[in-house]
Amino acid sequence: MLEYLLTLLVSGLVTGSVYTVTALGLTMVYGILNLMNFAHGEVFMVGAYVGYFLFAVFGVSYPIAILGAIAGAAATGLLIEAIVFRPLRNAPQLSPLIASLGVSIFLQNLALLIWSPTPRMFNTPYVDQVVHMVIISMSMQRVIVFVVCVVLIVALYFVVQSTAIGKAMRAVALDAEAAALMGIDSRKVIMATFAIGSGLAGVAGALVGPILILSPFMGIPIILKAFAVVIMGGFGSIQGTVLAGFILGITESFGVLIIPTAFIDTIAFILLIATLLVRPTGLFAERIEENV
């Protein structure tokens, strides 16, 4: 029984790390532009497919395939920002939201056209390798997923808190006009935010692609979970997103003890509703002060 519970815990940590990395991209974009990007799930899907084709078709090593997935997803994010969000920068807030939904549908259908609706298996050498840790065992692929995701989470926090681009992001998120007066180019900051956020989604796709089945619609479930994580954690809060992501992953993992597997996806929305009832602003909502 102890072995089973530990296995569920580790599985929850792995799943939570993926939710966190994917949701961090949404959190960053919201922090800068105050809008949600519905096409973020399709960026995740693009990363998974780019990683798959680089590894399975072109024969590059898996680490290089992951780097290619990051580049492909970042490029997709930059295109979305330039074509969709930039022209609507000063439009009513609902306009870019609806536009991102349109981009999501467009990318799904483009993926159907390019890659066909046929599901694909992304088999890496690490899927079948088993790692024994004390009294539990898990595939090397899941170990890689967790380790890389944790490294990315720590690296992102360092970038945002301690680097020039991170300080510029926080300045633009706080007050774009004041940041511009201080010589910060908000356009470049927004582009960097989209590139980093989309790259995170891409690496998440390439990491869990070998665990999932690849399809043009694989981004839908992950984006729903990412939205739940962002709202639970508090809009724009990196710390809240990290905490909420791991809470959701662990809760879903242990949820199999209570509810049928077919209904596991409902846990995200149960947690979301419970969080909003107790703390409507999220776990780590930032305090906003107004000058009177």
Which whole-number Å values give the CA distances from 248 to 94, 229, 254, in the listed order? 28, 7, 10
Main-chain dihedrals φ then ψ at residue 94, nearest 5 degrees: -70, -30
Reading the block at residue 41, the tokens are 């799930």
pLDDT digits (tens, 9 = 90+) for 243-291: 999 999 999 999 988 888 888 889 999 999 998 898 888 887 654 433 3
- pLDDT at residue 2, rounded to an integer: 80
Domain that holds residue 111: 2-278
DSSP string, 28-88: HHHHHHS---TTHHHHHHHHHHHHHIIIIIS---HHHHHHHHHHHHHHHHHHHIIIIITTT
**116 occurs within a structural domain:** yes
Which whole-number Å values give the CA distances from 162 to 20, 156, 158, 165, 238, in the listed order? 20, 10, 6, 9, 14
CATH of the domain at 196: 1.10.3470
Q: Could you give the number of structural domains in the chain? A: 1
- pLDDT at residue 290, rounded to an integer: 37
Query: What pTM does this model have?
Result: 0.91
**Beta-sheet pairing, 130-133 with 136-139:** antiparallel
Which whole-number Å values give the CA distances from 203 to 12, 42, 103, 189, 254, in the listed order? 19, 13, 20, 21, 26
**250 occurs within a structural domain:** yes
Q: Which pLDDT tens digits describe the chain residue by residue (292 residues)?
A: 788 888 999 999 999 999 999 999 999 888 888 888 999 999 999 999 999 999 999 999 999 999 999 999 999 999 999 999 999 888 887 888 899 999 999 999 999 999 999 999 998 989 989 888 777 888 999 999 999 999 999 999 999 989 999 999 989 888 888 888 888 898 999 999 999 999 999 999 999 999 999 999 999 999 999 999 999 998 878 899 999 999 999 999 999 888 888 888 899 999 999 988 988 888 876 544 333 3
